[in-house]
Amino acid sequence: MTQPHFLTQIFKETDFTIPELETILPKFQRLELAKGAYMLQEGDLENHYWFLERGYARSYVIDPEGKDISTNFYAAGDIVIDWTSFFLRNPTRENIQTLSACVLWQLDFNSFQDLFHNIKSFREQGRTTLVGSYFELKKHSVSIIADQAKDRYLKLMKEKPDLIQNISLKHIATYLGVTDTSLSRIRKEISE
């Protein structure tokens, strides 16, 4: 069976049978997007489930004052999706935009539903991923309230050092709930 190299890292033969892989893998479409491309815009319906093979993307919302606030970052190996819009079929409040040239593997909503309802191992992997994403979101929202900004930055440095090196400090600052100036001060304190 000819398999796209990247997807075989996600859908492993140890977790799926060969016939399941032969059903799953051809449903994905490989896409290349330029830096600054929108994968999803506020008001749209999320109709795709993407695996990011290469590059960086972020999700963000526009606050009441018109500022964009980063809600998540995506790097190689991540699923890029607005779960709420995808599953509840509601228009999204978020935007998802590439921060660099990206290579993605896209699965449309109907194909996802077909695989989810007909292949138990696909369904279980999907549930595990959804639960993991929920826990990450919950940890981040609690951290914004309960942790010092410096601690949030140090945690991000430890858990996702590639983001610190490849994403603008302006975007990282909004994700951490601080101003650019505060983040610069925090970085200076850490380096001293």
Q: What is the mean pLDDT of residues 163-180?
A: 91
149 to each of 23, 40, 117, 172, 186, how far by Cα in Å?
A: 46, 29, 42, 12, 8
Tell me the C-alpha distance between 46 and 55, whole Å. 20
Q: Please, what sign has the CA dihedral across residues 72, 78, 83, 85?
A: positive
Q: Which H helix or E strand runs over 70?
A: strand 68-74
Q: Same domain for 125 and 176?
A: no
Q: What is the mean pLDDT of residues 125-147?
A: 88
| Residue 63, domain member (yes or no) | yes
| Residue 135, domain member (yes or no) | no
**Per-residue pLDDT for 7 more than 60?**
yes
Q: Same domain for 26 and 118?
A: yes
**Residue numbers of the domain that contains 55:** 7-130
Neighbours of 63 (CB within 10 A): 10
**Per-residue pLDDT for 2 more than 60?**
no
More confidently predicted of 183 and 1: 183
- The residue out of 96, 130, 164 marking a domain boundary is 130
Q: Same domain for 108 and 58?
A: yes
Identify the weakest region by mean pLDDT among 3-7, 104-108, 147-151, 187-191.
3-7
How many domains is the chain built from? 2
Tell me the C-alpha distance between 168 and 161, whole Å. 13
| Residue 139, domain member (yes or no) | no
Q: What is the mean pLDDT of residues 54-77?
A: 94
Q: What's residue 1's pLDDT?
A: 46
More confidently predicted of 129 and 29: 29
Q: What's residue 4's pLDDT?
A: 54
**Per-residue pLDDT for 10 more than 90?**
no
Q: Same domain for 12 and 98?
A: yes
* CB distance 87 to 104 below 8 Å: no
Q: What's residue 180's pLDDT?
A: 87
**Per-residue pLDDT for 13 more than 90?**
no
Give the CATH number, domain containing residue 125: 2.60.120.10
Sequence-ordered list of residues with C-beta below 8 angstroms from that of 169, at least 6 positions apart, any chain: 180, 183, 184, 187
Tell me the C-alpha distance between 80 and 33, whole Å. 13
Q: Quote the distance between the C-alpha of residue 168 and its chain's center.
A: 17
